[in-house]
Structure 1
């Protein structure tokens, strides 16, 4: 099996690097040329605490060099989904390619469907975490067993999907085929809507946000409750109390983790707020469920993006 990772950032590299030892070939596609150069020269460096692995894999920033793949895993941020799919179609995606999205938020599948037939698309999520330490070096930050869930968009489980899940489980990606994947996606949205955003605004890690600072915990709790309200209105059996317990369980599983939105803000880049808080608020409006905290945080993130070039600099 040949696997192409379209978007080899922190999470794409985690999946690509992990799978490299059990598949025939992995190609890591990234528009970050420093990453591509580092991986091709030194291998992909993967660390977890004191443990270190160096994975040999091919990396490229040229869509034509990806080549045909049996599986293409889209792992770019929401804002880059359309371009990523277009790039993948240059040489990677054929009529026999299974296209998998494990991206954050909701809305990515709608974009992918514009280009790829539904019977080739598999969607889901992963609650594993990873941070970029340097070009070509990631740090795996998940301490307890969390997983990766997938489901075919047309509801038909194929031998190729079963094989991919088996390969993922051989390298501790903890994958399963989950008919209830939509509910699991909304559970992850509960985490993303409060932790990704508030960590980015406050410039802290998830432990400091949720455990060490009561004031930010209270804001996060209100966001979690609102996301739970929307999920229940959509027919999912997720109470407010259960939602809060889930987010805290994930938080304790990834101590010190810094969500990627923090780096987006620090590096003055567009964030994924459109497929997280804004998407949740839009669902709430459709269903008549108020989401004032979710919407306020979305506006704050948009305000930060709008003022990247006007931020006051500190002078002593």
Structure 2
């Protein structure tokens, strides 16, 4: 497959790098960041529990037009850049090109369908903690490292089957989800709990889940999100909050949400599309969201980053 990674940060570099190592043609597209430049000049080094790797030859670009039509786009930009990036990737679209958003939350798929046409959008998630250690070097943490995806109407199409085969050749833990909407919501609830709590508490996950009050925060965030999903008719179990806590307990002690990483670096936060969206949906469904509101109260002041 010919694959483009739009927004070559940590998560896109990890999965894209694994695909390159398996022999796929992958083009990494970014704004010319130090990380992108280092990959083009020196290659990409992956440090991972699932095996280290060094990929010497990396195709990089700053303009999607230079890449041309592709079979799959891994869409990895921050949520506030979605509209602009969607316009930029149009030269890479052909009739059956799939756009697979790695973005957090449940907003991206619907918006991409509006901007690009629903025929191009598949649903899915990318689940693993990854960070850029230095330009050209990324580190993946823990055992949980999964891609789950599928057509928005849950059909088993050739492009979905082909991409699954590609991922399996690359030894990426991957699956075609039976209910993509439910899978997206489960990831949304997890990320708003994980990122919300680590950002709110200014802590990695280990100390939070081990603390009496910190654990209550985790339970509250996960329970509110689960109640909202069920109120909207999403097919997830009433025990989903317990499942979220089980996932968090399996994370490395040093794991932290991407929003907390952005907070530490003074970057803009995806708060509006994560915990902020939970508060909005809670109002629409009549589900109280005191924990998500607390996260909003604590973080909204920092939502635009130091660049305000």
TM more than 0.5: yes
* Aligned residue in 2 for 1:122: 122
* Aligned residue in 2 for 1:200: 199
**Aligned partners of 1:102 and 1:123 also within 8 Å:** no
Q: 1: CA distance between counterparts of 2:184 and 2:114?
A: 21
Q: Alpha-carbon deviations, 1:169-201, whole Å to 9, x = none?
A: 222322221131222222222221122122123
* Aligned residue in 2 for 1:174: 173
Q: 2: CA distance between counterparts of 1:113 and 1:50?
A: 34
* Aligned residue in 2 for 1:88: 89
* Aligned residue in 1 for 2:279: 281
Displacement of 1:5 in angstroms is 0.5
Q: 2: CA distance between counterparts of 1:200 and 1:132?
A: 19
* Aligned residue in 2 for 1:238: 237
Q: 1: CA distance between counterparts of 2:305 and 2:100?
A: 35
**Aligned partners of 1:201 and 1:301 also within 8 Å:** yes
Displacement of 1:95 in angstroms is 2.5
Matches within 5 A, 1:73-222: 73-89=74-90, 91-144=91-144, 147-211=146-210, 213-222=211-220
Q: Identify if the C-alpha distance between structure 1 residues 298 and 169 changes in structure 2 by more than 3 Å, giving closer, same or farther.
A: farther
* Aligned residue in 2 for 1:27: 27
TM-score (norm 2): 0.91
Q: 1: CA distance between counterparts of 2:161 and 2:305?
A: 46
Identify unmatched segments of 5+ residues in structure 2: none
Displacement of 1:44 in angstroms is 1.0
TM-score (norm 1): 0.88
Displacement of 1:117 in angstroms is 1.8
Q: 2: CA distance between counterparts of 1:242 and 1:24?
A: 36
Q: Secondary structure at the match of 1:148?
A: strand
Q: Identify if the C-alpha distance between structure 1 residues 157 and 116 changes in structure 2 by more than 3 Å, giving closer, same or farther.
A: farther
Identify unmatched segments of 5+ residues in structure 1: 311-316
Q: What is the alpha-carbon root mean square deviation over aligned residues?
A: 2.2
Matches within 5 A, 1:47-66: 47-48=47-48, 51-55=51-55, 56-66=57-67
Instruction: Please say if 1:38 is aligned against 2:38.
Output: yes
Displacement of 1:263 in angstroms is 2.2
